Amino acid sequence: MSRLIIVSNRVAPISEGGPAAGGLAVGVYDALKETGGMWFGWSGEVVSSGQPQLQLVEQGPVTFATIGLARRDYDQYYRGFSNATLWPAFHYRADMIQYDGHDFEGYWRVNTWLAQQLVPLLRPDDVIWVHDYHLIPFAQALRAAGVENRIGFFLHIPFPAAQVLLAVPPHRALVEALCSFDLLGFQTQADVRAFCDYVVHEAGGEIEGGLHAATFIAGSPARVRAFGRSLRAAAYPIGVYPDEIAQLAKAGARGKSVRMMRQTLHERKLIMSVDRLDYSKGLVERFRAFERLLDHVPAYRNNVSYVQIAPPTRADMHAYQDIRLRLESELGRINGRFAELDWTPIRYIHRQYERSVLAALFRQSHVGYVTPLRDGMNLVAKEYVSAQDPDDPGVLVLSRFAGAADELTGALIVNPIDIDGMAQALAQALSMPLAERRARYRDMIAQLRSNNVSVWRDTFLRDLAHEHGRRPAAGPP
Ligand code: ADP
Ligand code: F6P
């Protein structure tokens, strides 16, 4: 069997042996611990002097190959082009896109350099699976270095509509680079369509069978021809291991932190949210919708608590400092309005937690409140459903703009901009009869079991195995 090489910017922290907050690290960690192989990427360190050195650490069946980034590379590749240009653009925030040509050069340079670090570690029959927007030029760089292995790419975040992508000045170079992969995986059908729409209307490429007739489903990916390349593309919605999460949730319920939390709640109902502190997650709108609920239904005052866990992320970027300040101001205002001596309406926590603690908190709660403005998939929504007690499940309130909404049709689907609509959904969730909660849960858990993280990995790798690596026209942007 071929060895699997995973390449991603963020790698699960090796010392703790578990994934970092973020869908990529969690999903890939779950996928790789079964197959074994190598995980190559950034160590998370910024090296202030000397050349970053590659480190190899064996942990069970996985070899972690990580390397630091020089300060300038971190600034241009990670903070700059990846997170100040691509992240807002791919999350449909054209108003927040910043662009600096030097950062783009740095992004390309770091991709080339990382690819060169990986080349000596490769064997001829390795299968290479590259993840996420930081590494769009990676296949082109590997091909330029003479690598002929099969190379697939999975995008964890949305792929934007062509009109939004056009706002990123080097959009053509990015899509051309994507066409150097053999197989492209996206979270949803809408993402694949957006990519193919760009290929046809902006790059003069073609989709076999026609843009509107082609299927973009896993197991039967569409054939794309563009930039002198032939590749395939489909939607491979990432999953979780629902039964493992349910076990963790049961075990975690006996832990000290969860017991303490229950004691402080008394008989109040619990609304639970967990997100990286990112402006794409719609946290301000979410706080306001909870406030609207308390405004409109006074019976919920002092009878329901909302816990928002939000570990800070990319904290050295202005946009993230800004969202943090806005949230703190909203939180202070809402808690000041409604708090009682024995009740704080919103508990807002910046900590990381063990997966078992998060799962147990999900199981204790009556509502999972997951309302991003835009999200590739949103694993938290899937984790929330997985953690529920089948006899007495909570209700998921889910944004229509999370990829997970395609599969979790048993959730109460909301528009995260519509504050009144979200307040109504919260009220409906808090008062939903047991029979309806069970029916919705059964529908969702069946879907999560049939498309768990092994299915995601195996389907992608099977489709990649059917695709014969072809040499692209490699070159600088
Ligand atoms: P994103 O990839 O944008 O961060 P996802 O919802 O897909 O969004 O993935 C987030 C992952 O990070 C989930 O698996 C979630 O459980 C985990 N996570 C988020 N916050 C925390 C936290 N405070 N402690 C531990 N894990 C967290
Ligand atoms: O899943 C989306 C994602 O952007 C990953 O690519 C990333 O690792 C994660 O969220 C967290 O962001 P960061 O790696 O910048 O901390």
Element (H, E) at 447: helix 434-450
Determine the pLDDT at residue 14.
67
Residues β-bridged to residue 270: 305
Query: What is the spatial distance between Cα 139 and Cα 66, in angstroms, rounded to a whole number?
Result: 18
Average pLDDT value for the chain? 94
Which domains, from first to last, does the chain contain?
Answer: 4-238+453-466 (3.40.50.2000), 242-450 (3.40.50.2000)
89 C-alpha to ligand 2 centroid (Å): 15
C-alpha 249/C-alpha 368 separation (Å) is: 14
Whole-number Å distance between alpha carbons of 282 and 330: 13
305 contacts 265 by C-beta, under 8 angstroms: yes
Per-residue confidence band for 34, with pLDDT thresholds at 50, 70 and 90? confident
Catalytic status, residue 156 = yes
Per-residue pLDDT band for 188 (boundaries 50, 70, 90) equals: very high
Q: What is the rounded CA–CA span in Å between residue 349 and residue 155? A: 29
For residue 34, give the 3-state DSSP assignment. helix
Residue 416's pLDDT is what?
A: 98
Tell me if 55 CB under 6 Å of ligand 1. Answer: no
Nearest CA to ligand 1 atom 16: 380
Q: What would the pLDDT profile of 329-360 be if each residue is shown by its tens digit?
A: 999 999 999 999 999 999 999 999 999 999 99
Ligand lying closest to the C-alpha of residue 316: 2
How far apart CA 340 and CA 294 sit, in angstroms, is 13
List all residues 6 or more positions away from 329 whose beta carbon is below 8 Å from its beta carbon. none
pLDDT tens for 89-118 read 999 999 999 999 999 999 999 999 999 999
The pLDDT score that the predictor gives to residue 473 is 42
The CA-CA-CA angle for residues 249, 252, 253, to 5°, reads: 85
Q: How many angstroms separate the CA atoms of 477 and 81, rounded?
A: 14
Cβ–ligand 2 distance for 23 under 6 Å, the answer yes
> Of 286, 238, 262, nearest to 360 (Cα)?
262
**Would you say residue 13 has pLDDT above 80?**
no
Closest-lying ligand 2 atom to the alpha carbon of residue 82: 15
pLDDT at residue 18 in the model: 62
Q: Is the pLDDT of residue 471 over 80?
A: no
Q: What is the pLDDT of residues 143-164, one digit of tens each?
A: 999 999 999 999 999 999 999 9
Amino acid letter, residue 285: E
- Say yes or no to pLDDT of 260 above 80: yes
Q: Which residues contact 307 (CB under 8 A, 6 or more apart)?
A: 261, 270, 271, 272, 273, 346, 347, 349, 361, 365
Separation CA 169–CA 373 (nearest Å): 24
> 134, 156, 171, 366: which is the annotated catalytic residue?
156
- What was the pLDDT predicted at 26? 82
CA angle 49, 87, 9 (to 5 degrees): 45
Q: Is the per-residue pLDDT at 469 higher than 50? A: no
Average pLDDT over residues 430-438: 98
SS3 state of residue 386 = helix
Strands 55-59 and 62-70: antiparallel
Furthest C-alpha separation in the chain:
68
For residues 449-464, give the mean pLDDT.
Answer: 96
Burial of 282 from C-beta contacts in 10 A (0-12 / 13-18 / 19+): buried
For 225-264, b where at least 16 C-beta lie within 10 A, e where not — what string? Answer: ebbebbbbbbbbbbbbbbeebbebbeebbeeeebeebeee
196 and 171 in contact (C-beta within 8 Å)?
no
CA 157 to ligand 2 center in whole angstroms: 9
375 is known as an active-site residue: yes
Confidence class for position 372, pLDDT limits 50, 70, 90: very high
At 260, list the tokens.
């303490």
Given the DSSP bridges, would you call strands 229-235 and 222-226 parallel, antiparallel or unpaired? antiparallel
- Confidence at residue 442, expressed as pLDDT on a 0 to 100 scale: 98
Our mutation pick for probing the ligand 2 site, out of 39, 74, 135, 156, counting the most ligand atoms within 8 A of Cβ, is 156
Query: Which of 188, 276, 363, 396 maximizes ligand 1 atoms within 8 Å of its Cβ, making it the mutation to test the pocket?
Result: 276
Confidence category of residue 15, pLDDT binned at 50, 70, 90: low
